[in-house]
């Protein structure tokens, strides 16, 4: 384990940013801190970097207590959402900064610095920009410069605070994939903060989901997506239809019930719903289509159940939607392909179809 965080707490006035966090960051992996705004993820990252002091608890770097170590002695690379480049310096000077501020004894020669900067520039695919200034680069390029600058000092840990947050959608997608490739090449222990679940699932080896200053769940992207530990995680990792239902004695489910000891919550992802004009297996729920929107190869359909008038969101394939076109949209059948049942005793079970 490269970073071990124990019993960490941080308050800002009356606001509890983090409470009793215990976390281990595995060596050489890319870990995502995922959570909504105000969940404490950035505070946690800043505490790891030493930019913020924790109120309680400890941060351990590679077996060494680093709780009270200054940022500049931690050997962490930090990448900010808004790049934080040195505006008055050229790209070359920006990347070389960390090497040039070293004490004379450990400072590389100018020739070595030039070589290293050029190597980093080609690593981040920005050859030829060395003499330009940050204001002349696009957002994606600036963030790659920031990354090269952080890597120049050969940090033991790379920390990224919403690194793609300020970029437009297409660049964000490209850059996060590129970051993943880069990580596969250099295998540097990295932690990045994001509020975008797709980003976390796509890029990271391990996801830490935070909410209200506490860790909700930790695991690989597959683990947390397939086995969410609680309703928050389930809801945060994707869109969800929530129903309150009653487990029937005979094993079925009554959607409309809201009373009784058997009350459970039923969580269904929109893409786990299929719509058909016929109730072939008799398990379908009758509904009518109220709206739909074509999103490329998928179609988002809004429906209302005929009994109970509950709103249901489905996300089906274009083919499936095309097949529905001739049917009567006022009376279709919803089939639930998969769902999670959350019982009042805090246990999850899969809904048997």
Partner 1 sequence: MKKFLLKKNGSKLPGFGLTLGFSLAYMSFLVLIPLGALVLYSTRSTPAGFLAIISDDRVSAAFEVSVLSAFYAALVNCFFGLAIAWMLTRYEFYGKKIIDALIDLPFAIPTAVAGISLATVFSANGALGKLLANFNIEIAYSRTSIVIALIFIGFPFIVRTVQPVLEDLDQEVEEAASSLGANFFQIFTRIIFPAIFPALLTGFALAFARGLGEYGSIIFISSNMPYETEIVPLLIVKKLLQFDYVGASVIGVAMLVCAFLLLLSINFLQGYARNRRGT
Q: Considering the rule CB under 8 A, would residue 135 count as an interface residue with partner 1?
A: yes
Contacts of residue 219, Cβ cutoff 8 Å, sequence gap at least 6 = 206, 207, 227
Q: Considering the rule CB under 8 A, would residue 151 count as an interface residue with partner 1?
A: no
Q: Considering the rule CB under 8 A, would residue 149 count as an interface residue with partner 1?
A: yes
Q: Considering the rule CB under 8 A, would residue 150 count as an interface residue with partner 1?
A: yes
Cβ nearer to partner 1, comparing 62 with 80: 80
Structure tokens at 90: 């050229």
Interface with partner 1 (CB under 8 A), residue from 1, 12, 15, 71: 71
Cβ nearer to partner 1, comparing 139 with 229: 139
Contact indicator for 95, 121 with CB cutoff of 8 Å = yes
Beta partners for 245? 264
Q: Considering the rule CB under 8 A, would residue 97 count as an interface residue with partner 1?
A: yes
Q: Considering the rule CB under 8 A, would residue 80 count as an interface residue with partner 1?
A: yes
Structure tokens at 302: 């809004």
Q: Considering the rule CB under 8 A, would residue 51 count as an interface residue with partner 1?
A: yes
Q: Of the listed pieces 31-39, 68-76, 254-262, 292-300, which binds partner 1 according to CB under 8 A?
A: 68-76
Q: Considering the rule CB under 8 A, would residue 68 count as an interface residue with partner 1?
A: no
CB of 100 to partner 1, least distance (A): 8
Beta-strand pair 214-219/348-350: unpaired
Q: Considering the rule CB under 8 A, would residue 213 count as an interface residue with partner 1?
A: no
Structure tokens at 45: 């990252």
- Full strand arrangement of the beta sheet holding 332-336: 273-276, 332-336, 285-295, 298-305, 311-317
Cβ nearer to partner 1, comparing 45 with 200: 45
- Number of helical H runs and strand E runs in the chain: 9, 20
Q: Considering the rule CB under 8 A, would residue 146 count as an interface residue with partner 1?
A: yes
Q: Considering the rule CB under 8 A, would residue 152 count as an interface residue with partner 1?
A: yes
Cβ nearer to partner 1, comparing 48 with 316: 48
CB of 51 to partner 1, least distance (A): 5
Interface with partner 1 (CB under 8 A), residue from 7, 12, 26, 87: 87
Pairwise CA distance, residues 136 & 133, whole Å: 6
Pairwise CA distance, residues 263 & 275, whole Å: 26
Neighbours of 245 (CB within 10 A): 20
CB of 213 to partner 1, least distance (A): 22
Contact indicator for 132, 90 with CB cutoff of 8 Å = yes
Structure tokens at 164: 């793609």
CB of 71 to partner 1, least distance (A): 5
Q: Of the listed pieces 64-72, 190-198, 213-221, 335-343, which binds partner 1 according to CB under 8 A?
A: 64-72
How would you class 262 by CB atoms within 10 Å of its CB: exposed for 0-12, middle for 13-18, buried for 19 or more? Answer: middle
Pairwise CA distance, residues 243 & 264, whole Å: 8
CB of 37 to partner 1, least distance (A): 17
Size of the site for partner 1 (CB under 8 A): 31
Residue 151: C-alpha distances to residues 112, 259, 317 (Å): 15, 58, 43
- Binding residues for partner 1, rule: CB under 8 A, are 49, 51, 70-72, 74-78, 80, 82, 84-88, 90, 97-98, 101-102, 133-136, 146, 149-150, 152-153
């Amino acid at each position: 384990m490269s970073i071990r965080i124990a019993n960490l707490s941080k308050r800002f006035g009356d606001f509890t940013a983090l409470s009793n966090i215990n976390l281990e960051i595995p060596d050489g992996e890319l870990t995502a801190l995922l959570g909504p705004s105000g969940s404490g993820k950035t505070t946690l990252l800043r505490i790891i970097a030493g930019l913020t002091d924790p109120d309680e608890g400890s941060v351990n770097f590679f077996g060494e207590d680093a709780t009270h170590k200054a940022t500049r002695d931690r050997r962490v690379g930090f990448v900010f959402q808004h790049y934080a480049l040195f505006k008055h310096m050229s790209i070359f000077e920006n990347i070389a900064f960390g090497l040039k501020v070293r004490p004379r004894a450990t400072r590389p020669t100018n020739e070595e610095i030039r070589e290293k900067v050029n190597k980093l520039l080609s690593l981040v695919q920005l050859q030829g920009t060395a003499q330009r200034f940050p204001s002349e680069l696009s957002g994606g390029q600036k963030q790659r410069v920031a990354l090269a600058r952080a890597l120049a000092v050969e940090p033991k840990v790379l920390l990224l605070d919403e690194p793609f947050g300020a970029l437009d959608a297409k660049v964000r997608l490209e850059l996060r994939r590129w970051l993943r490739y880069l990580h596969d090449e250099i295998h540097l222990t990295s932690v990045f903060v994001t509020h975008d679940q797709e980003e976390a699932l796509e890029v990271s080896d391990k996801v830490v989901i935070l909410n209200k200053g506490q860790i909700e769940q930790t695991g690989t992207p597959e683990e947390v997506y397939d086995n969410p530990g609680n309703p928050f995680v389930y809801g945060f990792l994707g869109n969800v239809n929530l129903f309150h239902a009653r487990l029937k004695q005979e094993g079925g489910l009554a959607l409309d019930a809201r009373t009784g000891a058997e009350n459970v919550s039923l969580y269904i992802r929109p893409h786990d719903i299929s719509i058909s004009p016929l109730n072939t297996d008799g398990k379908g729920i009758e509904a009518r289509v109220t709206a739909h929107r074509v999103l490329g190869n998928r179609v988002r359909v809004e429906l209302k159940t005929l009994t109970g008038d509950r709103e249901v969101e489905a996300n089906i394939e274009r083919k499936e939607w095309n097949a529905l076109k001739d049917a009567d949209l006022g009376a279709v059948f919803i089939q639930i392909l998969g769902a999670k049942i959350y019982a009042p005793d805090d246990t999850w079970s899969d809904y048997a179809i």
